[in-house]
Amino acid sequence: MMQPPPGPGGRPGRRGKIDKKDLEQLRESPVSLRRIGALFAPYRWKIALVVALIVASSVISLATPFLVRAVIDDAIPHQNVSLLLWAVGGMLAVTVAGSLLSVVQTWISTTVGQRVMHGLRTQVFSHLQRQSLSFFTRTRGGEIQSRLTNDIGGMQSVVTNTATSLAANITTVVGTAVAMAVLSWRLALLSLIVLPPAIWLTRRVAQMRRAVTARQQRRLADMQSQIDEGLSVSGILLVKTLGTGPVLSDKFARTSEDLADLEVHAQLSGRWRMATMNIVFSAIPAVLYLVAGLPATSGGMTIGTLVAFTGLQGALFRPLMSLLDVGVSVTSSLALFSRIFEYLDLPVDIGDPAEPARVDPENVAGRVRFEKVTFRYEGAHRNALDGIDLDVPAGAQIALVGETGSGKSTLGALVARLYDPTGGSVSIDGVDLRDMRLADVAALVGVVAQETYLLHATVRENLRYAKPDASDEEIEAAARAAHIHDLIVSLPEGYDTVVGARGHRFSGGEKQRMAIARTLLRDPRILVLDEATSALDNDTERAVQQALDAARTGRTTITIAHRLSTVRDADEIVVLDRGRIIERGRHDELVALGGRYAALATRAERHGAGPLGQDEVSSPASQREPAAVRSG
């Protein structure tokens, strides 16, 4: 029987009623049938073979009722052993042939479905990898995961269930109807009267069950959310620090109690559905026997014909009900394609140029230049950067300081080409970043952010993530340079120790030094340090600062400064305010100038050479860098 594929977001297709969200999806993003057909075009001969096998299997199975009639009406009453053997052998042959054809059909259709699904999955993943950072800051991670797993996974159902079952059900219904008419037109006519109310009753009970199941799924989703929020590493830290354990336990208990009640209703509704089906399947043959037994309506019908007809009648009910839901299945399937194509049709804001400039990372000096750079975040009311002119010589170390929201992290993000400037250009050794391949930019520019993201993998795998072909010796050399090697070898399994979810088993300073080691492993010519020590205490900062000093050696370094101690020795300090450069020079020069930097430095010294520029009020919230930029 045909099963509707999962709806958008992995929702099970609801039989008998088209999901409003599916219709809304298709209104917003219509789907071209030609485009869908293009996905299956490479497999058209295999699909044609699947259809042929389905038709052949359905047609072959129709021989069984006629063989049954021959056995009951002729072979057994007349002791015709030869006919009996042929008829019984034919029944076995039909069963074996149908089973073999079904296995082959399933193998081919599943293979085609998996190939199409694999192609779409890799296309979507690769395409999303090319999206700019702004796409991920405005899109929920769960939605991306849902489309890659649930929606594309539903493609398998489209091919192996929806499409193949549609062909099988059409063939079965048409063939069965013809066979019923051939056996007895009187009983076939009776079926037209008996079937509709039976189908209506069955669908009505099924709708009641679906309503209960939908409520059950919503409460299960609530429970899953409560488990994720209350029992994850971050969630349990929040619970323990806020003391909300009893409240969450009560909330979880109420959800669990609701689920228990719903399960009782679900079981009862399921039993009612089975009872209804049993009544229908028993009532229809009973009516047929009654009609066949009455002299006025029997028309000389034989017992064999009656038995064969009853068998056909039972085989007609399920596929006919499935065909009545074909609109739901098709709509659900089209909605899946719509959601998948939405992602594939996203424009690539930051991509490789058609004719990239040739860049040899080994020969790049590392001069960075900003020429009349302007940048505005999507939806912002003013520019985050406005007319920036800045020349950073190769090997120089400059520091960017300013109040929160002044544009420091945005400037660093442009160097790593996480964004492209709205106006002007950013270049390395005279080559505009937009003329370089993204892989070349990544090889030239390394970023150490305030927040370090570690994979749930071993220390070695986390470091090797930056350079997949790195040897163990290179990994250890990078760790030594980042002053983290001694700590790693002291772990129970050394470099093969699993860091845990998001690296929670390590302190902030340890994670930062691992991030520095990961960056050093790539050996970039340009280093962007985005407030890399802002969240650390003084002792930890000193350890990380040693690693950063080692990292800066021989590299062009742009430090987005948070602490006064990190900028004193910079070759040049650039002070930003509302996206503009308002002061620049060395530490002593700027202090003597008595301007904005001097005020920031004075404030920092009051806090023990601590934070620079913490005045959140100084710049509108709409102009602050998104968290994703601030964190790397």
- pLDDT given at position 11: 44
DSSP 197-240: HHHHHHHHHHHHHHHHHHHHHHHHHHHHHHHHHHHSHHHHHHHH
Given a cut of 80, is residue 365 above it in pLDDT?
Answer: yes
Q: How confident is the model at residue 369 (pLDDT cuts 50, 70, 90)?
A: very high
- Percentage of the chain beyond pLDDT 90 is 11
User: How distant, in Å, are the alpha carbons of 174, 379, 554 from that of 466?
Assistant: 61, 33, 20
198, 279: one domain = yes
Residues 381, 282, single domain; the answer is no
Domain for residue 336, yes or no?
yes
pLDDT per residue over 426-437, tens digit each?
999 999 999 999
- Mean pLDDT for 104-132 is 85
**Tell me, what CATH number does 417's domain have?**
3.40.50.300
Examine the domain organization and report whether 207 and 170 are in the same domain: no
**Rg of the chain, C-alpha, whole Å:** 35
Counting the structural domains of the chain, the total is 3
Is there a single domain that holds both residue 133 and residue 199? no
Structure-token pair, residue 55? 């038709």
* 134 and 171 in a common domain: yes
Nearest C-alpha neighbor of 313 from the set 174, 168, 177: 177
Q: For residues 148 and 424, what is the distance between their CA atoms, to the nearest angstrom?
A: 36
Give residue-wise pLDDT tens across range 136-171: 777 766 677 777 777 777 766 665 666 777 777 788
* pLDDT range class, residue 373, cuts 50, 70, 90: very high
Query: Does 197 lie in the same domain as 171?
Result: no
**CATH number assigned to the domain comprising residue 31:** 1.20.1560.10
For residue 594, tell me if it sits in a domain. no
Inter-residue contact 530 to 560 (CB < 8 Å)? yes
Tell whether the model's pLDDT for residue 629 goes beyond 50.
Answer: no
Cβ contact 590:573 at 8 Å: yes
Q: Does 296 lie in the same domain as 367?
A: no
295 and 341, same domain (yes or no): no
For 46, the enclosing helix (H) or strand (E) is helix 44-61
Q: Are 133 and 344 in contact (CB under 8 A)?
A: no
pTM for this model (two decimals): 0.67
484 three-class SS: coil
Looking at 349, 384, 419, which one is the last position of a domain?
349
pLDDT per residue as tens digits for the range 493-526? 889 988 866 666 777 778 888 888 888 888 889 9
Residue 83 lies in a domain: yes
Residue 216 lies in a domain: yes
Question: What is the mean pLDDT of the segment spanning 375-402?
Answer: 89
Per-residue pLDDT, 175: 79
The reply to whether 331 and 381 lie within a common domain is no
Q: Is 314 helix (H, G, I), strand (E, B) or coil?
A: helix
pLDDT at 22 over 60: yes
**Encoded amino acid at 383, one letter:** N
pLDDT band at 572 (very low <50, low <70, confident <90, very high): very high
In a domain, 309, yes or no: no
Tell me what pLDDT residue 337 has.
Answer: 83
Question: Once rounded to an integer, what is the mean pLDDT over residues 340-368?
Answer: 86
Residue 399 located in a structural domain: no
Residue 232 domain-assigned (yes or no)? yes
- Are 72 and 57 in the same domain? yes
**Same structural domain for residues 47 and 123?**
yes
What pLDDT was estimated at residue 4? 43
CB 16 within 8 A of CB 206: yes
306 within some domain:
no
Domain that holds residue 614: 361-394+410-455+524-583+602-630
Q: What is the pLDDT of residue 620?
A: 35
pLDDT of 89 over the 80 cut: yes
Does residue 375 sit in the same domain as residue 343?
A: no
Residue 8 confidence class, pLDDT cut points 50, 70, 90: very low
